[in-house]
Amino acid sequence: MTVLGIGISYGLATLAAMFSGMPIAFALGAVALVFMAIYMPHASLDTVTQNVYEEMASITLLSIPLFILKGAAIGKSRAGQDLYSALHAWLHRVPGGLGVANVFACALFAAMAGSSPATCSAIGSAGIPEMRKRGYSGGFAAGIIAAGGTLGILLPPSITMILFAVAAEKSLGRLFLAGIGPGLLLVTLFGIYAVVRFRKEYATAKAAYEATGQTSAILTDEKFTMAQRFGALPRVLPFVILLTGVMIALYGGYATPSETAGLGGLLALLLIALIYGVWKPSDLSPIMTSTIRESTMLMMIIGMSLLYSYVMSYLHISQSAAEAIVAMQLPRWGLLAAILALVVVLGFFLPPVSIILMTAPIILPPLRAAGFDIIWFGVVMTIVMEMGLIHPPVGLNIFVIRNVAPDIPLSEVIWGTLPFVLLMMLAVLLLCLIPGISTWLPDLVMGPESIR
């Protein structure tokens, strides 16, 4: 069979396995093993475990379970609620300040946890009921938390960016730094939208009150004294210190990414023990269980994805696909648009981890040939994959929100997230027009990549 025929059958077999309901890791592994048995020397089957081990024997991948431990330690404590409460106390005078506070709380929590679902769950469990109680519509409240949760894979430490750095063989520290500027851009866009949307809902409620006398909680003017504001700061300070300490250790050259992940995990456990009294085995059990469960799931997906990519490479599927894309002779930006469109489509069905590991061997060579900065592209691709977390049919954060706020209809959640998808598209467009948004900080801290 020709390489084209093998490639088509490989893709169809993968889709069939995915739609069968089989877990992603097992689906990828099963397809890879079947094609190894059919098209590769039988002796290669004897080396499957060795190949998977060698592919995963990366010190960078070691940071994944350690960052998950850090996120679980924070997510299982009251850190999310404390972050939200303190920010709300300081931002309540801003129109839509409660929504803006939730955006900032999501950003700060994402920077500590590195996980989108964890951010959605931790901040949403406190933020959505408070927004609903103050008159925010269900779709608006759900959209803010779902979109804010996506920042978990953009702001460092991001598990998704760790995998991209491994797949692209690029500096993880540089990639982390490159995500900060676009992350702040998204926080700003989300905050502006929260203010605009609040003004609209406030005006609607006020008009209804003037016409019918029907009042709404959104019209209530909430007040906080300076004593209450400053009294809320100690709740946030320890976690800001944790975030700052981890960043200094990583970018100050005092520790490698894996060592920094271990440091962050230990500091997070220490903080929740000191602040929340979480130190007994019965208290730590949910944290460790969550860490082991999520780490095992991710590492299985990573291992099987790497085996899947190895088989693609051996059968020359990925090389032929890359050559076919180059042979199309698309304009430079046309090539980028086609690849990002592919990522959007894959985002309908697959999580970011699988998208990166499955597509990197195919899309990176043509992008390098076209002269794109791979670090910059990694940030752009991450934002596009963020869209997949909040757009139907398989937006993971949408279902997390449904668990946190089951009283909000699914249709309202989806409509509430769509404006944020458009804002992410705007952010991608701005990054294409002004690449320096993502490149200035890595160049400032680590120097231009060409001289490193």
Nearest CA among 414, 423, 416 for reference residue 386: 423
CA–CA dist 366, 377 (Å, integer): 12
What is the structure's pLDDT at 124? 79
**Is residue 313 within 8 Å of residue 174, measured between CB atoms?**
no
- Distances from the Cα of 208 to the Cα of 114, 136, 202, 211, 387, angstroms: 42, 15, 10, 5, 35
What is the structure's pLDDT at 452? 39
Can you list the pairs that 190-195 forms with residues at least 24 positions away whose Cβ atoms lie under 8 Å? 190/103, 190/144, 190/147, 190/148, 190/420, 190/423, 191/99, 191/100, 191/103, 191/104, 193/419, 193/420, 193/423, 194/96, 194/99, 194/100, 194/102, 194/103, 194/144, 195/94, 195/95, 195/96, 195/99, 195/100
Residue type for 9, please? S
What is the structure's pLDDT at 80? 63
Half-sphere exposure of 369 (CA within 13 A, CB side): 14
Paired tokens of 50? 């060795």
Segment-wise mean pLDDT, segments of 10 residues, the chain, 452 residues: 84 83 82 88 75 72 78 72 74 79 82 72 77 84 88 79 86 88 92 90 80 72 77 75 77 76 84 82 85 80 79 78 75 89 76 79 86 93 87 72 81 88 94 91 76 40
CA–CA dist 257, 441 (Å, integer): 18
H or E element: which one contains 43? none
CA–CA dist 418, 391 (Å, integer): 7
* Residues 132-170: b if buried by 16+ CB within 10 A, e if exposed: bebbbbbbbbbbbbbbbbbbbbbbbbbbbbbbbbbbbeb
What is the structure's pLDDT at 451? 41
Nearest CA among 54, 55, 6 for reference residue 31: 6
Phi-psi region of 223 (alpha: psi -120 to 50; beta: other; left: phi over 0): beta
- Taking the CA atoms of residue 176, residue 193, residue 71 and residue 49 in that order, the dihedral angle to the nearest 10 degrees is -60
What is the structure's pLDDT at 362? 82
CA–CA dist 277, 183 (Å, integer): 32
